[in-house]
Structure 1
Amino acid sequence: MIRMGTKLNKFIEEWTPKINHVLETAIQKDTDQQRLFESMAYSVNAGGKRLRPLLTLATLTTLNQPINDSTLKAACALELMHTYSLIHDDLPAMDNDDLRRGKPTNHKIYGAGMATLAGDGLQALAFQWIVDNELPIEVRCRLALALAKAAGPRGMAAGQADDIQFEGSRLDLAALQKLDRHKTGALISYAVTAGLIMSPVTTEQGKSLRRFAEQFGAAFQIYDDILDVVGDEKTIGKPVHQDANKNTYPNLLGLSGAYTALQKTVDNAKEALAMAEASLGVDTSLLADFCSYFVIKDEKNNGKTAR
């Protein structure tokens, strides 16, 4: 469970069941092959924090925008895109992982071919859900363009490519930050951007919230790197100690340095929210609560905690 502030806990309790309902009921309506549907649904409904759609809905709430069936469906589309990336990331040709969210990975159940098609189907369906709703046409177009950029060869796909190409070599900090900004940060940044697109906020007005999203996404990857060192498989639901030959913050900076980088990045995210609150005149405490995700006791570093 995400360790969050009281306001966000209530938000999660309200909206996670609604997100899950969409994900559990809507996929089959748009799928015309039973085994493919089963493979897609297996990974989408295997659990997960629903962090990305929650970020979109929290951005809308922060900006005092109503959430209806269309905005909810558009938010859930991001979870389809995220799940597609996980299925493909776990494939034998990629990380070859056997466990995801505490369950066998998709290809262990359905085979690599069907798992590949499940990922392909979810990627396409994500764009379908963004445009197959009652949002204004301009909003749907902007969402689709933003998601394509976030997931494509200047976003997540580029980051995954860097991850493969430079495995076994050591990137410097700037190159590692670029890799993480694409691989993990792009879809998290899109989550907030989607909320801004569905709100009457100009690009300039949303600048600080986008800065928050960038820093939150960076912190999320640093935290994931740390968990590979100090976490356990049962708690986080996937194998640990898998990153020995990869470019990660602990491998580059050491565990203590990774915690320092995490703290600095979280502080930057909170500073961006303070700027957004001042410029937009809104209460950003709900989004600030997301930063409590990064609370972790570092037993190897004198009990230091990142907050």
Structure 2
Amino acid sequence: MAQVIAQWRLRIDAALERTLPPAGESPQRLHAAMRHAALLGGKRMRPLLVHATGAAFGADMALLDAPALAVELVHAYSLVHDDLPAMDDDALRRGQPTLHVAFDEATAILAGDALQSLAFATLAQAPGSADARIDMLRELALAAGSRGMCGGQALDIEATGAAERFGVDELEDLHSLKTGALLRASVRLGAIAAGVDASARAALDRYADALGLAFQVRDDLLDVEGDSATLGKTAGKDAAQDKATFPALIGIDASRARLESLRAEMTDALAPFGDRVAVLAELGRQAIERVR
């Protein structure tokens, strides 16, 4: 299983390398910034979810490359904008200077915009049926917009400096948009490519919803317990900014217990599919147990 995931990760990285504009092509500074944002490391969790879901249900690998690339490019753009001074104002990402630090703020904004445009252009040219392409474009657009990732970021901004006004239910709703929507879309894109039926999609949604929340709970714990060198980003910022987080609201022990309950939810959602979803189960495990 580890070998399969490693092979997919190499395939994703190679496809990103081919798809991103060459750094030497005009406008060089913008293209170099796009490559900095997308190629310098990362867990590749979202494209791996596309591949794992599609492969589990018999999709041809050639049908999974475009949606995997598209979701990773949207994720890369979101990190660039999330790190901007107007948002989280962070200086470190994936162990490297954030884009506005490495280049400048204007270039970072343009690079994020261009990465998002490239994501949808890539998906619009995906092989397979026109109906599947339209479904995938719709899914990714909704996940990235005001009812998904951008909406979650807006709520996160409102929560900064106001942790005491947030309850756990509100925090879970926030993260189901900011983090969960794109992870859920990743699973859905793989399911669309594989032609998965409505009943199976509902079970996969339950898995993806639990995964998205688990990913964020783990992030919150790492911000408290980790260090910047290991995380590859600035540790301790949530508390410094008085952000609503799971450890802040329910404590560290209860956050760990919530992670275990989410692990059980993922296991239960995947149970009907047996061994063919072993990689999805492994990616869920990695999300819960990761150290960065």
After TM superposition, the score normalised by the length of structure 2 is 0.94
Distance 1:108 1:296, change over 3 A: closer
Is 1:201 aligned to residue 196 of structure 2? yes
Is 1:149 aligned to residue 142 of structure 2? yes
Q: Whole-Å Cα distance in 2 between the matches of residues 26 and 231 of structure 1?
A: 34
1:173-192 matched pairs, under 5 angstroms: 173-192=168-187
Is 1:64 aligned to residue 61 of structure 2? no
Match of 1:38 in 2: 32
1:103-122 matched pairs, under 5 angstroms: 103-122=96-115
Q: Whole-Å Cα distance in 2 between the matches of residues 32 and 185 of structure 1?
A: 36
Distance 1:50 1:296, change over 3 A: closer
1:41-56 matched pairs, under 5 angstroms: 41-56=35-50
Q: Whole-Å Cα distance in 1 between the matches of residues 64 and 247 of structure 2?
A: 38
> 8 Å contact 2:83–2:90 — kept in the other structure?
yes
- Report the alpha carbon displacement of residue 109 of structure 1 after superposing the two structures with TM: 1.2
Specify the code of the residue in structure 2 equivalent to 1:74: P
Q: Which runs of 5+ in 2 are unaligned?
A: none
- Report the alpha carbon displacement of residue 219 of structure 1 after superposing the two structures with TM: 0.3
CA shift digits 1:50-96 (9 cap, x unpaired): 1110110000111122201x421221111100000000000011111
Specify the code of the residue in structure 2 equivalent to 1:84: Y
> 8 Å contact 2:22–2:31 — kept in the other structure?
no
CA shift digits 1:227-270 (9 cap, x unpaired): 00111111110010110110110000011111111111111111
> 8 Å contact 1:225–1:250 — kept in the other structure?
yes
Match of 2:270 in 1: 273
Q: Whole-Å Cα distance in 2 between the matches of residues 273 and 155 of structure 1?
A: 24
Match of 1:239 in 2: 234
4+ long deviations beyond 6 Å: none
What is the alpha-carbon root mean square deviation over aligned residues?
1.6
- Report the alpha carbon displacement of residue 203 of structure 1 after superposing the two structures with TM: 2.2
> 8 Å contact 1:71–1:135 — kept in the other structure?
no
Task: Choose from 66, 80, 87 the match for 1:87.
Answer: 80
Match of 1:11 in 2: 4
Percent identity between the two aligned chains: 38
DSSP-derived class of the 1:205 partner: helix
Q: Which runs of 5+ in 1 are unaligned?
A: 1-6, 298-307
Specify the code of the residue in structure 2 equivalent to 1:284: V
